[in-house]
Amino acid sequence: MSAASEPSSDMFAVFPAAPPTELVRFLDLGGYKWHGSDQANEIVVQSDETGSDETAEAPPTWAGALVTIDERREEAWRFCRELRKRDAPIEPLLVLLGGDRLDDLQSRADLFDDFIITPFHPQELEARLQHQLLRAGRGVRPELITYGPLTLNVETYQAMFDDRHLDLTFMEYELLRFLASSPGQVFTRETLLSRVWGYEYFGGARTVDVHIRRLRAKMGEEHSSLIATVRGVGYKLGQSRWTAGGEHR
C-alpha cells in the first residue's frame, strides 16, 4: 500500500481494487477519500498492527467500507467477513449488489450495515452512506463544503470566495451552506424557510428572497450568479455534481 493511501479516519475501504466506474465517480465527486483493495488482510492487518505500532498515538482506522458484490461474490463476502471479525469491526459497511443477487443477503445480515441495488442512484447512495455515518456517531459531512470558487468551513463558519472572506450573518451563512450542500438542487421558498429558518420570523416566506438578495449583494457582481432564481419555483446554487457527463446548461 502506498503512503498516499495510509488508512485514516476519513478513508473508505473499497472492494474490489478496481471498483466500478460509477462508484469511483461517486466517491471522487463527493469528496470521499478511498482505497481500493482485493485483499481483506491488506485492510485488516494494517489496522490490527496499530496497537503495537511505535507511531500509533492515534491509531488509524477506516471511515467505513463499500463492497461491490460482483462476479467474484465469494471473495467479496469473504472480504466483508474479514472486516467484521476484528475486535473493532469496520463500520459502516455497505454492500452494492445487483437486483438478481438479493438472495445473497439471506443469512448474511451480520456482514453489512446497509445495502444498495446496482445500478445505484448517486443521491440514494449518498443518503444511505450519510445516514449510516450518522448512526455510527461519525461526522455526517466533510468539514469543508466547496463549490467552484466557494468554500464553506462548517466547523469555523467561515465562507470564502477564492481568498476573499465573505462576511455573512448567521442566517445568510446557514442559507448558503444549505444551498451549497446540494448543488443544482432547486429548493422552494417554503422548503428553505422551514429547513434553514425553522421558525416564524418577521419576514415570513419573503425572508428567503430578502436573504438571497443580501447574499448576492455580498457575493458581488462576479459571483452573484452562482445562486440562480428558478422562476416560479425557488432557488438553486450551481450545477449538480451528478449531472450526466458534466453537461453544462
Partner 1 sequence: MEREQEYVLRAAEERNVKLIRLWFTDVLGKLKSVAISPVELETAFVEGVHFDGSAIDGFSRIQESDVMAKPDPSTFEVLPWTEGGTTARMFCDIETPSGRPFDGDPRQVLRRNLLKAQADGQIFQVAPEMEFFYFAEGEPGVSPTPLDSGSYFDLTTSDVASDLRRRTISVLEAMGIPVEYSFHEDSPSQHEIDLRYTDAMSMADQIMTFRLVVRELAMEQGHYASFMPKPLEGLQGSGMHLHLSLFENDTNIFHPDPSTAQGQVGELSPVGRNFMAGLLRHAPEITAVTNQLVNSYKRLVVGYEAPVWVSWARNNRSALIRVPLTKPDKTSSTRIEYRAPDPACNPYLAFSVILAAGRAGIEGNYDLPAETTQNLYELSSEEVAKMGVEPVPRSLAEAIDVMERSELVHEALGEHIFEWFLRNKRNEWESYKSHVSQWELKRYLPNW
Chain contacts with partner 1 (rule: CB under 8 A): 156-158, 165, 167-173, 189-190, 200, 202-207, 210, 213-218, 220
Tell me whether residue 197 or residue 242 sits nearer to partner 1 (CB atom).
197
* Smallest gap from residue 211 Cβ to partner 1 (A): 9
Measure the CA–CA gap between 192 and 177, rounded to whole angstroms: 11
The residue whose grid cell reads 481568498 is 163
- CA-to-CA dists, residue 91 to 8, 68, 225, angstroms: 14, 15, 41
* Smallest gap from residue 179 Cβ to partner 1 (A): 16
* Smallest gap from residue 121 Cβ to partner 1 (A): 32
Tell me whether residue 181 or residue 240 sits nearer to partner 1 (CB atom).
181
One-character DSSP codes across 111-122: G-SEEEEESPPH
* Smallest gap from residue 209 Cβ to partner 1 (A): 8
Q: What is the largest CA-CA distance in the chain?
A: 62
Report cis status (omega within 30 of 0) of the bond before 16: yes
Measure the CA–CA gap between 134 and 128, rounded to whole angstroms: 10
192 CB-side CA count, 13 A: 31
Going by C-beta distance under 8 Å and a sequence separation of 6 or more, which residues neighbour residue 154?
Answer: 141, 142, 143, 144, 145, 177
Tell me whether residue 127 or residue 217 sits nearer to partner 1 (CB atom).
217
* Smallest gap from residue 134 Cβ to partner 1 (A): 18
Tell me whether residue 127 or residue 210 sits nearer to partner 1 (CB atom).
210
* Smallest gap from residue 10 Cβ to partner 1 (A): 22
Tell me whether residue 31 or residue 220 sits nearer to partner 1 (CB atom).
220
Tell me whether residue 77 or residue 173 sits nearer to partner 1 (CB atom).
173
Grid cell in block for residue 92:
459502516
